[in-house]
Each structure stands twice: as C-alpha cells, then as structure tokens.
Amino acid sequence: MSTPMVALLAPLIRRSFKKHLFERGIARHTPEQVAAMGRDDVDALATSLGAREWFVADQPTKVDASAFGLLAASIRSPMMTPVCTYARSKPNLVAFVDRGLARFFPEHEAASRD
C-alpha cells in the first residue's frame, strides 16, 4: 500500500480493532486486571498439569496439542509481557513445552542444538 493509503486506513483499522477488543471483553479491563486474569489462567494450567508429563493421559492428546500451542507462544517467544514472564516461572509448564517441542517438532529441537 502507498504511504497516503496507510495513513488513511491505519486509524480506521486501529479503531475497528479497539472496538473488537471491547466487544470481546478484554478492553473493558485495566492492564493490571488483564495481567491478573492471565496469571490465573497460567496457574490453572500449572495446577492441572501438576507433575504429569501430559494433561490427560500417558501420551499427548488434543488437549495437550492445544495447550502446547498457547504455552509455547508464551514461554518460548521473546515477548516480555507480564503473563509470558509469569508462565516462564512455572517449571512444569516450561518442561511441558520442552517435551512438546521434542515430540511434535523434533527438527526444531535439533536445529536449536546446532
């Protein structure tokens, strides 16, 4: 897109995004409240996993694949949000993500060792 088009559309897109976040409920809370809700979610996952390797069974299930997708983004990304930082402080969740990477993406683990 051309620079003038970006300048014209950016405020419209931003306004639409803010409206969407408000409609979904997340923008109705302060940043501190959002962070507290995120930490509560991380605590619930850490408690649910406990000392087990996988959430439901001895082998990964769809629940594990879903949890892995959410947790890997928080734990392995460079994002320094309060919730990501908090998730990284949960050893059982960090180990879960490491297991998931080794199991679901062995080529990623091999590349990161090189």
67-75's contacts with Cβ under 8 Å and 24+ in sequence apart are 67/96, 68/96, 68/97, 68/100, 68/104, 71/45, 71/96, 71/97, 71/100, 72/97, 72/100, 72/101, 74/42
Domains of the chain: 30-113 (1.20.1050)
Q: What is the pLDDT along the chain (114 residues), one digit of tens a residue?
A: 788 888 889 999 999 988 988 888 888 889 999 999 999 999 999 999 999 999 999 999 999 999 999 999 999 999 999 999 999 999 999 999 999 999 999 987 655 655
Entry pTM: 0.77
pLDDT of residue 97: 97
